[in-house]
Structure formats: C-alpha cells, structure tokens
Amino acid sequence: MKTLLIAIPSYTGKVPLELMMELFHQEQVKDLNLRFTYTKRVPIEKARNGICKFALEEGMDYVLFVDDDQIIPRETIKKLVELDKDIVCTPILDRNGEGRIALFNKDWDDILDCTEDMEVGYCGMGCTLIKIDVLKELYSKYERPFEFGYIGEDDDQRYLGEDLMFTKRARENGFNIWCKHDIKPIHLGDERKFQYSPLKNMFNSK
C-alpha cells in the first residue's frame, strides 16, 4: 500500500470550499492511501520545503501540491498517478488574461498548447505530483530544493520562482517532467475563474 500526501501551501490558511469538495471526492486509486496537510502564514518556498521534509520523514510515496487558488477535477489523483512519471504537472492558466500556461520547454521557451500528455522542461506547482524518489535525491544534494534564484549570465539573467528552480534541479539530476493534458484545474481570480483550453490557445473565464 502506497501513500500520497495532498499538500496545500496556503499563506492565508483559507482554502476554498470548492477545492475541499473536489479533494474529498477524488476517484479512488487501488492500493493508495491519502493523507492531507497544509501550511498557514509561511513563505511559499519555506512551506514547500517543509512539506517535502515531512513527506520524507513520514515515508510517503508521493506529494501532490495543490495551490489554494486551484479547483482540481475529481479524477486528478487517479490520472496523475497512472501516468507514472517522476513529476507530473497540469496545464494551469495564469490569471492576467494573457492566455499563458506555466509550462516551458528545455530551452525555457513558453509551451503554448498542451493537447496530449507530453514531456516538458519545467513547470509550476499549482497542481503537481512528485514521486518521493525525486525528493530523496534532491534533499541529499540541496538544503532547500525549492528556492528562488537566477539562471544565465549577468547580461541575460532570468529570475526563477521556487517551483521552476525545483524542476530545474530535478531535470539536472535526471528526472523527467510530464504534463497531463486532460486534467485542467480552474484557477481562481479575484472575480473570475480561469481554465485552460487548448483551442487556439484561448482561455475560458467564468
């Protein structure tokens, strides 16, 4: 029996009822136990690192990060686990109305469409599954695998959030990163809800 830790790094501590309902009604996966944790008023990089250390200490097999502004489909856990990759993310639309998803190829170019399960270079952590072997390896080499930082030369630097730095380090250590195209979380905005649609790279707002 394997165990998956559902982790919500929430700074406010306020998790939408819609998200909790979808988590409680996730499709069952054979021989998989679910546990739940969240953080409150902790900076995001510290929250993610603390959650992963907890998962390692407790002998988990997976960590599923779900941000507190995401509403995930009820088949999310089942499909992400069944894809059986080191790291599995989902296409999540940003909230600025530009129609971008937090996916990049190995050259750091934006991936504009995700119409099939595909390997990607780097991804965000809005709804992302990580196998414990990835965490074991990275925590043996980095004190804080989730960490803000820069890449590139002085005249061409790129700032990375803690999530992209984590996936960069994972890829450098030989792990693969895939996107599950048919799991499309709803991204909550202040007044609207955004959901990725591959059709002409447009977005839906509700």
pLDDT of residue 97: 60
Helix (H) or strand (E) holding 154: none
Radius of gyration of the chain (CA): 16
Place of tokens 């809800």: 193
**Average pLDDT across the chain, whole number:** 91
Place of tokens 């399960």: 117
Sheet holding 2-10, edge to edge: 32-40, 2-10, 62-66, 127-131, 87-89, 177-179, 118-119
pLDDT digits (tens, 9 = 90+) for 109-131: 999 999 999 999 999 999 999 99
Q: What percent of the chain has pLDDT over 70?
A: 90
Q: Quick one: DSSP state of residue 126? A: T
Mean pLDDT across 6-34: 94
| C-alpha separations of 7 from 37, 55, 92 in Å | 5, 10, 17
Q: Cβ-count burial of 130 within 10 angstroms (0-12 exposed, 13-18 middle, 19+ buried)?
A: buried
Domains, the chain, with CATH or none: 2-205 (3.90.550.40)
Mean pLDDT across 56-67: 98
